[in-house]
Homo-oligomer: A and B are copies of this chain.
Amino acid sequence: MRIVNLTEETRKNILKDLLKRSPSNFGSYADTVEKIVNDVRDRGDEALFGYTKQFDKADINAGNVLVTKEEIEYAYTQVDEKLIEVIRKAKENIRTYHEKQRQYSWFDSDPKGIMLGQKVTALESVGVYVPGGKAVYPSSVLMNIMPAKVAGVKNIIMTTPCNSEGEVYATTLVAANEAGATAIYKAGGAQAIAALAYGTESIPKVDKIVGPGNIFVALAKRAVYGHVSIDSIAGPSEILVIADETANPRYVAADLLSQAEHDEMASAILITTSKELAEKVSAQVDEFIKVLSRKEIIRKSIDTYGYILLADNMADAVEAANAIASEHLEIVTANPFDVMTRIKNAGAIFIGEYSSEPLGDYFAGPNHVLPTNGTAKFFSPLSVDDFIKKSSIIYYSREALEEVHEDIESFAKSEQLTAHANSIAVRFE
Protein backbone atom coordinates (compact mmCIF):
# COMPACT_ATOMS: atom_id res chain seq x y z
CA MET A 1 0.00 0.00 0.00
CA ARG A 2 1.49 3.32 -1.04
CA ILE A 3 3.01 5.68 1.54
CA VAL A 4 2.84 9.41 0.79
CA ASN A 5 3.94 12.43 2.81
CA LEU A 6 0.98 14.45 4.01
CA THR A 7 1.30 17.95 2.57
CA GLU A 8 -1.39 20.44 1.75
CA GLU A 9 -0.99 19.50 -1.89
CA THR A 10 -1.35 15.73 -1.37
CA ARG A 11 -4.38 16.39 0.81
CA LYS A 12 -6.03 18.48 -1.90
CA ASN A 13 -5.28 15.96 -4.61
CA ILE A 14 -6.58 13.05 -2.56
CA LEU A 15 -9.73 14.97 -1.73
CA LYS A 16 -10.33 15.76 -5.39
CA ASP A 17 -9.81 12.09 -6.21
CA LEU A 18 -12.19 10.90 -3.53
CA LEU A 19 -14.90 13.36 -4.58
CA LYS A 20 -14.83 11.91 -8.10
CA ARG A 21 -16.66 8.95 -6.61
CA SER A 22 -19.68 11.17 -5.87
CA PRO A 23 -23.03 10.10 -7.31
CA SER A 24 -23.52 13.66 -8.53
CA ASN A 25 -21.04 12.87 -11.28
CA PHE A 26 -22.96 9.96 -12.75
CA GLY A 27 -24.98 12.26 -14.99
CA SER A 28 -25.18 9.79 -17.87
CA TYR A 29 -27.66 7.56 -16.04
CA ALA A 30 -29.83 10.43 -14.82
CA ASP A 31 -32.03 10.53 -17.93
CA THR A 32 -32.68 6.79 -17.88
CA VAL A 33 -33.59 6.96 -14.22
CA GLU A 34 -35.89 9.92 -14.71
CA LYS A 35 -37.70 8.08 -17.48
CA ILE A 36 -38.24 5.06 -15.21
CA VAL A 37 -39.39 7.23 -12.31
CA ASN A 38 -41.89 9.17 -14.42
CA ASP A 39 -43.17 6.01 -16.03
CA VAL A 40 -43.89 4.35 -12.67
CA ARG A 41 -45.47 7.58 -11.43
CA ASP A 42 -47.77 7.70 -14.46
CA ARG A 43 -48.56 4.03 -15.04
CA GLY A 44 -48.20 2.53 -11.55
CA ASP A 45 -48.06 -1.23 -11.16
CA GLU A 46 -48.02 -1.86 -14.89
CA ALA A 47 -44.75 0.03 -15.28
CA LEU A 48 -43.32 -1.32 -12.03
CA PHE A 49 -43.89 -4.94 -12.99
CA GLY A 50 -42.64 -4.27 -16.51
CA TYR A 51 -39.29 -3.02 -15.22
CA THR A 52 -39.10 -5.90 -12.76
CA LYS A 53 -39.49 -8.29 -15.68
CA GLN A 54 -36.93 -6.35 -17.71
CA PHE A 55 -34.23 -5.91 -15.05
CA ASP A 56 -34.79 -8.72 -12.54
CA LYS A 57 -36.25 -11.26 -15.02
CA ALA A 58 -39.03 -11.96 -12.54
CA ASP A 59 -42.78 -12.36 -13.17
CA ILE A 60 -44.17 -10.15 -10.46
CA ASN A 61 -47.78 -9.03 -10.40
CA ALA A 62 -50.35 -7.65 -7.98
CA GLY A 63 -50.87 -11.16 -6.64
CA ASN A 64 -47.29 -11.91 -5.61
CA VAL A 65 -45.53 -8.55 -5.13
CA LEU A 66 -46.20 -8.59 -1.39
CA VAL A 67 -44.09 -11.06 0.60
CA THR A 68 -46.49 -13.40 2.42
CA LYS A 69 -46.45 -14.63 6.00
CA GLU A 70 -45.66 -18.07 4.62
CA GLU A 71 -42.64 -16.80 2.75
CA ILE A 72 -41.36 -15.19 5.95
CA GLU A 73 -41.94 -18.37 7.96
CA TYR A 74 -40.13 -20.39 5.32
CA ALA A 75 -37.23 -17.92 5.45
CA TYR A 76 -36.73 -18.68 9.15
CA THR A 77 -36.17 -22.35 8.29
CA GLN A 78 -33.42 -21.33 5.88
CA VAL A 79 -31.32 -19.27 8.28
CA ASP A 80 -28.87 -20.65 10.83
CA GLU A 81 -30.39 -20.40 14.30
CA LYS A 82 -27.19 -18.99 15.75
CA LEU A 83 -27.30 -16.18 13.21
CA ILE A 84 -30.89 -15.40 14.17
CA GLU A 85 -29.71 -15.10 17.78
CA VAL A 86 -26.93 -12.70 16.75
CA ILE A 87 -29.40 -10.64 14.72
CA ARG A 88 -31.61 -10.38 17.82
CA LYS A 89 -28.71 -9.29 20.05
CA ALA A 90 -27.62 -6.69 17.51
CA LYS A 91 -31.19 -5.47 17.19
CA GLU A 92 -31.45 -4.92 20.94
CA ASN A 93 -28.21 -2.91 20.97
CA ILE A 94 -29.45 -0.83 18.06
CA ARG A 95 -32.76 -0.23 19.81
CA THR A 96 -31.07 0.79 23.08
CA TYR A 97 -28.77 3.28 21.38
CA HIS A 98 -31.47 4.80 19.20
CA GLU A 99 -33.88 5.18 22.10
CA LYS A 100 -31.42 7.71 23.52
CA GLN A 101 -31.88 9.78 20.35
CA ARG A 102 -35.58 10.33 20.93
CA GLN A 103 -36.60 13.96 20.97
CA TYR A 104 -39.60 15.25 22.83
CA SER A 105 -42.11 18.01 22.31
CA TRP A 106 -41.49 20.99 24.58
CA PHE A 107 -43.09 24.27 25.37
CA ASP A 108 -42.20 27.35 27.31
CA SER A 109 -44.74 29.69 28.85
CA ASP A 110 -44.70 33.29 29.96
CA PRO A 111 -47.20 34.58 32.54
CA LYS A 112 -48.28 37.28 30.07
CA GLY A 113 -50.25 34.52 28.40
CA ILE A 114 -47.66 33.33 25.90
CA MET A 115 -46.89 29.74 25.08
CA LEU A 116 -44.28 28.81 22.49
CA GLY A 117 -43.22 25.30 21.74
CA GLN A 118 -42.12 22.63 19.36
CA LYS A 119 -44.27 19.58 18.71
CA VAL A 120 -42.51 16.38 17.65
CA THR A 121 -44.45 13.94 15.47
CA ALA A 122 -43.25 10.67 13.94
CA LEU A 123 -43.55 10.35 10.17
CA GLU A 124 -46.61 8.32 9.23
CA SER A 125 -45.07 6.11 6.52
CA VAL A 126 -41.52 5.40 5.45
CA GLY A 127 -40.04 3.27 2.71
CA VAL A 128 -36.92 1.24 3.37
CA TYR A 129 -34.98 0.11 0.33
CA VAL A 130 -32.86 -3.00 0.75
CA PRO A 131 -30.56 -3.91 -2.13
CA GLY A 132 -30.34 -7.42 -3.48
CA GLY A 133 -27.61 -7.97 -6.03
CA LYS A 134 -24.05 -8.81 -5.21
CA ALA A 135 -24.38 -9.28 -1.47
CA VAL A 136 -27.03 -9.69 1.20
CA TYR A 137 -26.83 -7.41 4.21
CA PRO A 138 -29.27 -8.19 7.03
CA SER A 139 -27.33 -5.72 9.21
CA SER A 140 -28.40 -2.96 6.85
CA VAL A 141 -32.04 -4.02 7.20
CA LEU A 142 -31.81 -3.63 10.97
CA MET A 143 -29.99 -0.30 10.74
CA ASN A 144 -32.62 1.22 8.45
CA ILE A 145 -35.75 -0.09 10.12
CA MET A 146 -34.88 0.23 13.82
CA PRO A 147 -34.63 4.05 14.01
CA ALA A 148 -38.01 4.34 12.25
CA LYS A 149 -39.44 1.84 14.71
CA VAL A 150 -38.02 3.71 17.71
CA ALA A 151 -39.32 7.01 16.31
CA GLY A 152 -42.82 5.55 16.25
CA VAL A 153 -43.41 5.34 12.49
CA LYS A 154 -46.64 3.42 11.90
CA ASN A 155 -46.05 2.09 8.37
CA ILE A 156 -42.58 0.81 7.54
CA ILE A 157 -42.74 -0.35 3.94
CA MET A 158 -39.73 -2.32 2.74
CA THR A 159 -38.90 -3.08 -0.88
CA THR A 160 -36.14 -5.35 -2.10
CA PRO A 161 -35.46 -6.96 -5.46
CA CYS A 162 -36.20 -10.67 -5.93
CA ASN A 163 -34.42 -13.16 -8.12
CA SER A 164 -35.89 -14.49 -11.38
CA GLU A 165 -37.86 -17.05 -9.35
CA GLY A 166 -39.50 -14.28 -7.35
CA GLU A 167 -37.53 -15.16 -4.21
CA VAL A 168 -36.02 -12.77 -1.70
CA TYR A 169 -32.97 -13.63 0.43
CA ALA A 170 -34.00 -15.49 3.56
CA THR A 171 -31.74 -13.47 5.90
CA THR A 172 -33.18 -10.23 4.52
CA LEU A 173 -36.69 -11.43 5.35
CA VAL A 174 -35.69 -12.64 8.80
CA ALA A 175 -33.94 -9.36 9.64
CA ALA A 176 -36.90 -7.33 8.32
CA ASN A 177 -39.35 -9.36 10.34
CA GLU A 178 -37.23 -9.12 13.49
CA ALA A 179 -36.89 -5.35 13.07
CA GLY A 180 -40.62 -5.02 12.52
CA ALA A 181 -41.25 -4.08 8.87
CA THR A 182 -44.97 -3.55 8.30
CA ALA A 183 -44.92 -4.93 4.75
CA ILE A 184 -42.24 -6.19 2.35
CA TYR A 185 -42.59 -5.83 -1.41
CA LYS A 186 -40.59 -7.47 -4.20
CA ALA A 187 -39.34 -4.46 -6.09
CA GLY A 188 -35.87 -3.12 -6.75
CA GLY A 189 -33.97 -0.37 -8.54
CA ALA A 190 -35.25 3.03 -9.61
CA GLN A 191 -38.71 1.56 -10.19
CA ALA A 192 -39.03 0.60 -6.51
CA ILE A 193 -38.05 4.10 -5.39
CA ALA A 194 -40.62 5.60 -7.75
CA ALA A 195 -43.30 3.23 -6.44
CA LEU A 196 -42.56 4.29 -2.85
CA ALA A 197 -42.50 7.98 -3.77
CA TYR A 198 -45.72 8.08 -5.79
CA GLY A 199 -47.52 4.92 -4.76
CA THR A 200 -48.89 2.34 -7.20
CA GLU A 201 -52.00 0.18 -7.01
CA SER A 202 -49.99 -2.34 -4.96
CA ILE A 203 -47.36 -0.31 -3.13
CA PRO A 204 -48.43 2.50 -0.80
CA LYS A 205 -46.94 5.98 -1.10
CA VAL A 206 -44.59 6.88 1.75
CA ASP A 207 -43.38 10.18 3.22
CA LYS A 208 -39.68 9.37 3.23
CA ILE A 209 -37.39 6.81 1.60
CA VAL A 210 -34.22 5.50 3.20
CA GLY A 211 -31.75 2.75 2.46
CA PRO A 212 -28.67 2.17 0.33
CA GLY A 213 -28.62 1.07 -3.27
CA ASN A 214 -26.71 1.18 -6.52
CA ILE A 215 -26.34 4.22 -8.71
CA PHE A 216 -29.86 3.82 -10.17
CA VAL A 217 -31.36 3.78 -6.71
CA ALA A 218 -29.31 6.79 -5.63
CA LEU A 219 -30.31 8.79 -8.71
CA ALA A 220 -33.96 7.83 -8.31
CA LYS A 221 -33.90 9.02 -4.71
CA ARG A 222 -32.42 12.28 -5.89
CA ALA A 223 -35.14 12.56 -8.53
CA VAL A 224 -38.02 12.16 -6.08
CA TYR A 225 -36.48 14.37 -3.38
CA GLY A 226 -38.85 17.21 -2.51
CA HIS A 227 -41.90 15.14 -3.38
CA VAL A 228 -40.88 12.86 -0.53
CA SER A 229 -37.95 13.16 1.82
CA ILE A 230 -34.88 10.93 1.48
CA ASP A 231 -31.87 10.07 3.60
CA SER A 232 -28.53 11.30 2.33
CA ILE A 233 -27.38 9.75 -0.91
CA ALA A 234 -24.83 7.09 0.02
CA GLY A 235 -21.53 6.90 -1.82
CA PRO A 236 -18.87 4.17 -1.59
CA SER A 237 -17.65 3.27 1.88
CA GLU A 238 -14.65 4.92 3.53
CA ILE A 239 -12.39 4.39 6.49
CA LEU A 240 -9.79 6.75 7.82
CA VAL A 241 -7.49 5.65 10.63
CA ILE A 242 -5.49 8.14 12.66
CA ALA A 243 -2.70 6.25 14.41
CA ASP A 244 0.56 6.95 16.17
CA GLU A 245 3.51 4.74 17.08
CA THR A 246 1.48 3.00 19.81
CA ALA A 247 -0.88 1.37 17.30
CA ASN A 248 -0.77 -2.31 16.42
CA PRO A 249 -0.04 -2.50 12.67
CA ARG A 250 -1.90 -5.82 12.28
CA TYR A 251 -5.09 -4.29 13.68
CA VAL A 252 -4.77 -1.15 11.60
CA ALA A 253 -4.15 -3.12 8.41
CA ALA A 254 -7.10 -5.41 9.10
CA ASP A 255 -9.39 -2.45 9.73
CA LEU A 256 -8.35 -0.65 6.55
CA LEU A 257 -9.15 -3.79 4.57
CA SER A 258 -12.53 -4.21 6.21
CA GLN A 259 -13.79 -1.20 4.27
CA ALA A 260 -11.74 -1.82 1.14
CA GLU A 261 -13.58 -5.10 0.60
CA HIS A 262 -16.95 -3.35 0.19
CA ASP A 263 -16.44 -1.97 -3.25
CA GLU A 264 -13.77 -1.13 -5.82
CA MET A 265 -14.54 2.52 -5.16
CA ALA A 266 -14.22 2.20 -1.38
CA SER A 267 -11.46 4.23 0.21
CA ALA A 268 -9.12 3.24 3.05
CA ILE A 269 -6.71 5.83 4.40
CA LEU A 270 -4.25 5.72 7.27
CA ILE A 271 -2.83 8.98 8.57
CA THR A 272 0.05 8.39 10.94
CA THR A 273 2.84 10.28 12.59
CA SER A 274 4.98 7.11 12.67
CA LYS A 275 7.05 6.11 9.68
CA GLU A 276 7.66 2.72 11.22
CA LEU A 277 3.92 2.08 11.61
CA ALA A 278 3.34 3.23 8.04
CA GLU A 279 5.78 0.68 6.69
CA LYS A 280 4.53 -2.15 8.85
CA VAL A 281 0.90 -1.48 7.94
CA SER A 282 1.78 -1.32 4.27
CA ALA A 283 3.47 -4.72 4.44
CA GLN A 284 0.70 -6.21 6.57
CA VAL A 285 -1.97 -5.06 4.12
CA ASP A 286 -0.24 -7.03 1.38
CA GLU A 287 -0.02 -10.09 3.63
CA PHE A 288 -3.69 -10.00 4.56
CA ILE A 289 -4.95 -9.44 1.02
CA LYS A 290 -3.46 -12.80 -0.04
CA VAL A 291 -5.78 -14.72 2.25
CA LEU A 292 -8.99 -12.68 2.05
CA SER A 293 -11.87 -13.89 -0.09
CA ARG A 294 -12.63 -10.60 -1.81
CA LYS A 295 -9.00 -9.96 -2.79
CA GLU A 296 -9.70 -8.58 -6.29
CA ILE A 297 -12.04 -5.90 -5.01
CA ILE A 298 -9.67 -5.07 -2.15
CA ARG A 299 -6.61 -4.81 -4.40
CA LYS A 300 -8.44 -2.46 -6.75
CA SER A 301 -9.79 -0.20 -4.04
CA ILE A 302 -6.51 -0.08 -2.10
CA ASP A 303 -4.55 0.71 -5.28
CA THR A 304 -6.98 3.41 -6.42
CA TYR A 305 -8.29 5.04 -3.26
CA GLY A 306 -6.01 3.70 -0.54
CA TYR A 307 -3.28 5.84 1.04
CA ILE A 308 -0.94 5.81 3.97
CA LEU A 309 -0.23 9.44 4.73
CA LEU A 310 2.77 10.36 6.83
CA ALA A 311 1.99 13.44 8.94
CA ASP A 312 4.56 15.63 10.70
CA ASN A 313 2.43 15.80 13.82
CA MET A 314 -0.99 14.93 15.24
CA ALA A 315 -2.37 18.41 14.55
CA ASP A 316 -1.74 17.96 10.83
CA ALA A 317 -3.28 14.51 10.96
CA VAL A 318 -6.42 15.88 12.59
CA GLU A 319 -6.65 18.75 10.12
CA ALA A 320 -6.47 16.34 7.20
CA ALA A 321 -9.06 14.06 8.80
CA ASN A 322 -11.42 17.01 9.21
CA ALA A 323 -10.89 18.00 5.57
CA ILE A 324 -11.58 14.47 4.34
CA ALA A 325 -14.62 14.06 6.65
CA SER A 326 -14.57 10.29 6.42
CA GLU A 327 -17.59 8.05 6.90
CA HIS A 328 -15.69 5.97 9.49
CA LEU A 329 -12.85 7.34 11.56
CA GLU A 330 -10.73 5.21 13.86
CA ILE A 331 -8.45 6.86 16.38
CA VAL A 332 -5.68 4.57 17.56
CA THR A 333 -3.29 6.77 19.48
CA ALA A 334 -1.86 7.00 22.99
CA ASN A 335 -4.66 9.40 24.00
CA PRO A 336 -7.54 8.74 21.59
CA PHE A 337 -10.22 10.61 23.54
CA ASP A 338 -8.13 13.76 23.32
CA VAL A 339 -7.90 13.39 19.55
CA MET A 340 -11.66 12.81 19.39
CA THR A 341 -12.33 16.23 20.92
CA ARG A 342 -10.48 17.77 17.99
CA ILE A 343 -12.50 15.96 15.31
CA LYS A 344 -15.16 18.07 13.62
CA ASN A 345 -16.15 15.97 10.66
CA ALA A 346 -16.72 12.20 10.65
CA GLY A 347 -19.74 9.92 10.38
CA ALA A 348 -18.75 7.58 13.21
CA ILE A 349 -15.70 7.84 15.43
CA PHE A 350 -14.16 4.61 16.75
CA ILE A 351 -11.93 5.18 19.75
CA GLY A 352 -9.02 3.00 20.79
CA GLU A 353 -7.57 -0.21 19.48
CA TYR A 354 -10.48 -2.51 20.36
CA SER A 355 -13.14 -0.40 18.68
CA SER A 356 -12.64 -1.73 15.21
CA GLU A 357 -14.99 -0.54 12.52
CA PRO A 358 -16.99 -3.79 12.02
CA LEU A 359 -18.04 -3.53 15.68
CA GLY A 360 -20.06 -0.52 14.57
CA ASP A 361 -21.23 -2.12 11.33
CA TYR A 362 -22.89 -4.98 13.10
CA PHE A 363 -23.25 -4.75 16.75
CA ALA A 364 -22.50 -1.82 19.04
CA GLY A 365 -25.77 0.00 18.41
CA PRO A 366 -25.00 3.30 16.64
CA ASN A 367 -26.26 3.36 13.08
CA HIS A 368 -24.01 2.13 10.28
CA VAL A 369 -25.78 4.29 7.70
CA LEU A 370 -23.35 7.18 7.67
CA PRO A 371 -22.54 10.22 5.56
CA THR A 372 -19.96 9.47 2.84
CA ASN A 373 -17.93 11.44 0.31
CA GLY A 374 -17.13 14.36 2.55
CA THR A 375 -20.77 14.94 3.46
CA ALA A 376 -20.02 14.33 7.15
CA LYS A 377 -19.33 18.07 7.05
CA PHE A 378 -23.08 18.65 6.96
CA PHE A 379 -24.92 15.31 7.20
CA SER A 380 -25.41 13.05 10.21
CA PRO A 381 -25.69 9.30 10.70
CA LEU A 382 -29.16 7.90 10.05
CA SER A 383 -31.04 8.31 13.30
CA VAL A 384 -34.39 8.71 14.98
CA ASP A 385 -34.17 12.37 13.84
CA ASP A 386 -34.76 11.15 10.28
CA PHE A 387 -38.15 9.74 11.16
CA ILE A 388 -39.63 12.61 13.10
CA LYS A 389 -40.56 16.15 12.16
CA LYS A 390 -41.43 19.20 14.13
CA SER A 391 -44.17 21.82 14.16
CA SER A 392 -43.84 25.17 15.90
CA ILE A 393 -46.51 26.04 18.42
CA ILE A 394 -47.51 29.66 18.97
CA TYR A 395 -50.11 30.88 21.46
CA TYR A 396 -50.52 34.54 22.42
CA SER A 397 -53.28 35.86 24.61
CA ARG A 398 -55.07 39.11 23.79
CA GLU A 399 -52.98 40.99 26.40
CA ALA A 400 -49.74 39.58 25.05
CA LEU A 401 -50.55 40.51 21.46
CA GLU A 402 -51.82 43.90 22.46
CA GLU A 403 -48.50 44.76 24.04
CA VAL A 404 -46.58 44.21 20.79
CA HIS A 405 -49.17 44.74 18.07
CA GLU A 406 -47.81 48.06 16.91
CA ASP A 407 -44.31 46.64 16.53
CA ILE A 408 -45.60 43.82 14.35
CA GLU A 409 -47.71 46.16 12.24
CA SER A 410 -44.81 48.49 11.60
CA PHE A 411 -42.52 45.58 10.69
CA ALA A 412 -45.14 44.28 8.23
CA LYS A 413 -45.65 47.72 6.72
CA SER A 414 -41.90 48.10 6.23
CA GLU A 415 -42.13 45.02 4.01
CA GLN A 416 -45.11 46.53 2.16
CA LEU A 417 -47.29 43.65 3.33
CA THR A 418 -50.41 45.53 4.34
CA ALA A 419 -52.62 42.45 4.62
CA HIS A 420 -50.16 41.13 7.20
CA ALA A 421 -50.43 44.39 9.12
CA ASN A 422 -54.22 44.33 8.76
CA SER A 423 -54.44 40.86 10.29
CA ILE A 424 -52.91 42.22 13.49
CA ALA A 425 -54.61 45.63 13.40
CA VAL A 426 -58.12 44.25 12.93
CA ARG A 427 -57.91 42.74 16.41
CA PHE A 428 -57.39 46.12 18.09
CA GLU A 429 -59.74 48.42 16.23
Contact = CB atoms under 8 A, between A and B. Distances in A.
A229 B255 CA distance: 30
A419 B263 CA distance: 12
Contacts of A115: 351
Given A225-B222, A257-B422, A356-B423, A391 B347 contact: yes
A420 interface: yes
Copies in the complex: 2
What is the interface of chain A mostly: helix, strand, loop, or mixed? mixed
Contact of A362 (B226, B398, B412): B412
A123 B415 contact: no
A227 B22 contact: yes
Interface in A80-111: 80, 82-83, 86-87, 89-90, 97, 100-101, 106, 108
A396 B364 contact: yes
Nearest to A119: B349
Contacts of A377: 123-124, 207, 389
A343 B417 CA distance: 29
Given A89-B407, A171-B414, A411-B90, A422 B106 contact: no
Interface in A379-395: 379-381, 383, 385, 389-395
B391 A348 contact: yes
A298 interface: yes
Given A208-B378, A227-B24, A419 B260 contact: yes
Interface stretch (A8-16, A51-59, A134-142, A184-192): A134-142
Contact of A385 (B381, B385, B423): B385
A396 B82 contact: no
30 contacts: A80-B414, A86-B407, A86-B410, A86-B411, A87-B411, A89-B407, A119-B343, A135-B416, A138-B414, A208-B378, A226-B232, A254-B426, A261-B417, A261-B420, A262-B417, A292-B422, A293-B416, A343-B391, A349-B393, A352-B397, A355-B401, A356-B424, A357-B420, A358-B420, A361-B420, A363-B404, A363-B407, A364-B394, A378-B389, A380-B391
Interface of A: 22-24, 80, 82-83, 86-87, 89-90, 97, 100-101, 106, 108, 114-116, 118-119, 121, 123-124, 135-139, 171, 207-208, 222, 225-229, 232-233, 250-251, 254-255, 257-258, 260-262, 288, 292-294, 298, 337, 340, 343-367, 370-371, 375-381, 383, 385, 389-398, 400-401, 404, 407-408, 410-412, 414-424, 426-427
Given A22-B227, A135-B417, 19 more contacts: A23-B226, A80-B414, A90-B411, A100-B106, A100-B118, A139-B415, A207-B378, A257-B423, A258-B417, A298-B419, A340-B393, A354-B401, A355-B394, A357-B420, A357-B423, A358-B423, A362-B420, A380-B391, A381-B391
